[in-house]
Amino acid sequence: MAWTRKILRVDLTNGACKTEPLNMEWAQQYLGQRGLASKYFVSEVDPKVDPLSPANKLIMATGPLTGTPASTGGRYSVITKGALTGAIACSNSGGFFGAELKFAGWDMIIFEGKSPKPVYLSIENDKAELKDAAHLWGQTVWQTEAIIKKTHQDPQVRVSSIGRSGENGVLYAGIINDLHRAAGRSGVGAVMGSKNLKAVAVRGTLGVGGLRDPKAFLGAAAAAKKVLADNAVTGQGLPTYGTQVLMNVINEMGALPTRNHRDVQFEDARKISAEAMAEKRPDGKSHLVTNAACFGCTIACGRVSRIDEKHFSVVNKPEYWGASGGLEYEAAWALGAANGVGDLEALQFANLICNEDGFDPISFGATVGAAMELYELGILTKEQIGLEAPFGSAKALCELAQMTARGEGFGKDLGMGSARLCAKYGKPELSMSVKKQEFPAYDSRGIQGMGLTYATSNRGACHLRSYTVASEVLGIPVKTDPLTTDGKADLVKAFQDATSVFDSAGVCIFTSFAWSLADLQPQLDAACEGDWTMEKLAEVGERIYNMERLFNNAAGFTAKDDDLPPRLKTEPAKTGPAKGLVSGIDKMRPEYYKVRGWDANGVPTQETLDRLGL
Amino acid sequence: MRATFKLFATLQDYLPAEAKKTNALALDLDEGTTVQQVVERFGLPQQSCHLVLIDGIFVPPAARASRALKEGETLAIWPPIAGG
């Protein structure tokens, strides 16, 4: 059913699992998943809480469309106070775990406290219990999933877990489900590790039911699927080439951050692109094996690849010779262009290590980029790092990934993220981050709207809070000029609010390359009780964004945190269409605050709060 | 006049075999050759020419018939694609 109306509350300190009814009044105001779980979170957690303390909570939440026949309806989110950022975190993942959680009859799980010893949560429909995880602690994500499936004697159990990085306090550790899908950003896995919670294993056989109007819902879902199938982007472009097709696009546009944002174009971009993944290698095979879909997805953008067995990274390591998840664009950029590494096989190896041991390849790759710049400046030495680490070193990338996964040597420094790393070595300005979270793959000098997106993202620098690339680069829904700041305040707000709705519904944001809210609305209205009009959805999206902002403000974030590193404001792009340009963030920020109904300090005005019922 | 012509994703099939490895081809063009004329010369389906850039700057559909290429410019074209 749209909402199962049931929450599982797990007190890790005393090992108790309790069932609670879902607050249906809040569901009408915050929909589900990101919005509804964030409402629970901000209502229960002190904004000043130490993210790694037992007082922080961690919520795994589905949306009302999760597990239904809606296309891409398999999403779930993890909400907590981020270990990397200290801001509210919401990391969204696909795969099959979210739908299984819904099939077991749960809208969300709220974890609180800290277990005195490693445990994992086992859910089989109504039955939920904490089990000893001593034998899982120290295991990778992949090992953990295999052991749990074997222990439960059930290959269909779905597992979400942390790897060794989450245990070791890597501040950008994520939570991985179905081996390759990740609630990846902001350090939600580090929070899970701090609670001695290794994994959640779910088996659900209750299915979905109780939709408000099943016939209308199936009609709306079918119509929306046709929109995806008929759209050239979601029907053909994404399944064929995946997100990686952007590598050459963004490079041509002069917005591909390269060598820790020193440059905006990468001379080896083509070597690490979707086109390169599809080519035959010297071994006669292509890197790309096939595409893949998450639960209920009719787009299937995922990549499945195979490393050349002769590549230095996997010599005598047959465990990495099989087909596995990746590369996706953001990871390929962070592990590649951000470090000047143009070795596709090396990028996939580092990506596998990130999946295997559960840490965010964006933050990891960008942190390596910062370390490489510190090395080139002579601030970090070969002795400190343990190897030579100039820009472009594929060997260093692969070694550093393994060191970070194991928590060994310089890997411990890398596990802090670039902001803390650069501060430790006296060059805080070299961290390419906002709110201590590293940028994704778009340079805000060449795509101005993304600078405002990063600066005002509630979870730190992130492309998935308002993907204005869709408009500024791809012309979705309308083409805007990436080189101007004009109109970007309105654009970013519109994307932020709409994204909040998609993230709260249980579907993938990639549907929005073809769907507008008008395609999502009939599905929600038919599935959920209540009157889910376009106006209501727009208000819900804005309410969610402001609620997150209020939490961050109360946590101590101010307007000065809505800013970009000095490099992007003072060092013009050297090449490409943006040559000579810096980010116009200082012009866009006050315009954005005004559009938002926030004061000059970035605080929502009383009028805004009253209008949104906050 | 010399210009560089790049085709990506599924459109790279319209390039000569030797050019596919770089997605790029050097073109000798008459002065005044427009984007549209290059598209037609290579037989590219109009509906597949979704993202058209000259030196990284977007050329809107309405300008493609009149926008002439200049010496040293790079014309790059993609079909409908997305990422993120």
Whole-number Å distance between alpha carbons of A346 and A327: 11
Paired residues of A129 in beta bridges: A122
For A89, phi then psi, to 5°, come to -115, 140
Residue A294 in contact with residue A508, Cβ under 8 Å? yes
Tens-of-pLDDT digits for all 84 residues of chain B? Answer: 999 999 999 999 999 999 999 999 999 999 999 999 999 999 999 999 999 999 999 999 999 999 999 999 999 999 999 988
Q: Is 0.95 exceeded by the ipTM? A: yes
pLDDT at A33 over 90: yes
Name, in order, each residue with C-beta under 8 angstroms of A338's C-beta and a sequence gap of 6 or more.
A257, A258, A259, A260, A365, A366, A368, A369, A441
- Residue ranges, comma separated, of all CATH 1.10.599.10 domains in chain A are 448-612
In the predicted model, what is the mean pLDDT of residues A393-405? 98
Q: Which of B58, B79, B83 sits opposite A479 (nearest CB)?
A: B58
Which pLDDT tens digit goes with each residue over A50-108?
999 999 999 999 999 999 999 999 999 999 999 999 999 999 999 999 999 999 999 99
Instruction: Read off the tokens for B4.
Output: 């560089």
What are the tokens at A174? 């994520």
The neighbouring-strand residues paired with A108 are: A7, A61
Task: Give the integer Cα–Cα distance in Å for A363 and A75.
Answer: 22
pLDDT recorded at residue A210 = 84
Of the candidate CATH numbers 1.10.569.10, 1.10.1740.110, 2.60.120.620, 1.10.10.10, the domain formed by A243-438 belongs to 1.10.569.10
d(CA A454, CA A589): 11
Dist CA A111 CA A66 (whole Å): 20
Q: Do A329 and B84 touch (CB under 8 A)?
A: yes
User: Cα distance from A34 to chain B (closest Cα, Å)?
Assistant: 19
CA atoms within 13 A on the CB side of A321: 8
Question: Minimal Cα distance from A239: which residue of B?
Answer: B81
Residues 344-373 of A with CB under 8 A from B: none
What phi-psi label fits residue A90: left (phi over 0), alpha (psi between -120 and 50 degrees) or beta? beta
Q: Name the minimum distance, in Å, from the CA of A492 to any CA of chain B.
A: 16
The listed CATH number (1.10.260.40, 3.50.30.10, 3.20.20.80, 3.60.9.10) that belongs to domain A6-203: 3.60.9.10
Nearest Cα to A89, choosing from A123, A43, A136, A56?
Answer: A56
Domain with CATH 1.10.569.10 in chain A: 243-438
Q: Which residues of A touch B82 (CB under 8 A)?
A: 233-234, 237-238, 243, 245-246, 470, 474, 476, 510, 513
Instruction: Specify which residues A176 forms β-bridges with.
Output: A161, A182
Contact A88, A82 (CB under 8 A): yes
Contact by Cβ (8 Å): A233, A476: yes
Residue keyed to tokens 């602690």:
A137
Residues of A in contact with B58 (CB under 8 A): 475, 479, 481
Interface of B with A (CB under 8 A): 6, 8-10, 12, 21-23, 47, 50-51, 53, 55-58, 60, 74, 76, 78-84
Fill in the DSSP letter of residue B82: -
Band the pLDDT of A111: cuts 50, 70, 90. Answer: very high
Share of chain A above pLDDT 90, in %: 99
A269 in Cβ contact with A277 (< 8 Å)? no
Residue type, A460: G
User: Among A253, A277, A472, which would you mutate to test the B interface (most chain B Cβ atoms within 10 Å of its Cβ)?
Assistant: A253
At A299, the pLDDT band (50, 70, 90 cuts) reads: very high
To the nearest whole Å, the CA of B47 is away from the closest chain A CA by: 9
Are B74 and A252 within 8 A, CB to CB? yes
Q: Is the pLDDT of residue A233 over 80?
A: yes
d(CA A154, CA A148): 9
| Alpha-carbon distances, residue A455 vs A42, A192, A486, B5 (angstroms) | 22, 26, 16, 36
Nearest-CA neighbor of A6 among A134, A86, A108, A89?
A108
Helical H segments across A512-570, by residue range: 517-527, 534-555, 566-570
Cβ–Cβ below 8 Å for B6 and A237: no
- Residue A194: its H or E element: helix A188-194
Residue A1 has pLDDT above 70, yes or no: no
What are the tokens at A406?
């194991």
Q: Mean of the per-residue pLDDT values for chain A?
A: 97
The fraction of chain A above a pLDDT of 70, given in percent, is 100
CB atoms within 10 A of CB A218: 16
Do A527 and A68 form a contact (C-beta atoms < 8 A)?
A: yes
Cβ B5 vs Cβ B25: under 8 Å: yes
Q: Which of B53, B58, B80 sits opposite A232 (nearest CB)?
A: B80
Q: Are the beta carbons of A165 and A158 closer than 8 angstroms? A: no
* B6, B76, B82 member nearest A474 (Cβ): B82
**β-pair partners for A602:** none
Strand pairing report for A108-112 and A6-11: parallel
- Output the pLDDT for position B84: 83
DSSP string of A389-400, one letter each residue:
--TT-HHHHHHH
pLDDT band of residue A209 (cuts 50, 70, 90) is: confident
Provide DSSP, A129-178: EEEE-TTTTT--HHHHHHHHHHHHT-TT-EEEE--HHHHTT-TTB-EEET
Whole-model pTM? 0.98
Task: Please tell me the distance in Å from B58's CA to the nearest CA on chain A.
Answer: 8
Please answer yes or no on whether A233 and B82 come within 8 Å at the CB atom.
yes
Q: Is the pLDDT of residue A37 over 90?
A: yes
Mean per-residue pLDDT, A307-329: 96
SS3 A124: strand
Q: Which two tokens stand for residue A206?
A: 């209750």
Q: Is the pLDDT of residue A502 over 70?
A: yes
Please state whether beta strands A6-11 and A181-183 pair in parallel, antiparallel, or not at all (unpaired): unpaired
Minimum distance, in Å, between the CA of residue A257 and any CA atom of chain B: 15
* pLDDT at residue A396, rounded to an integer: 98
Whole-angstrom CA distances from A420 to A191, A254, A367, A429, A431 are: 17, 28, 10, 11, 8
Instruction: Say if residue A6's pLDDT is above 70.
Output: yes
Q: Which residues of B touch A337 (CB under 8 A)?
A: none
The domain segmentation of chain B, as residue ranges, is 1-55
B83/chain A closest Cα distance in angstroms: 4
| Chain A residues within an 8 Å CB radius of B76 | 248, 252
Tokens of B70: 């200049």
Q: What is the CATH number of domain A448-612?
A: 1.10.599.10
What tokens does B51 get? 């993202």
Strand order in the sheet with A324-325: A288-292, A302-305, A324-325
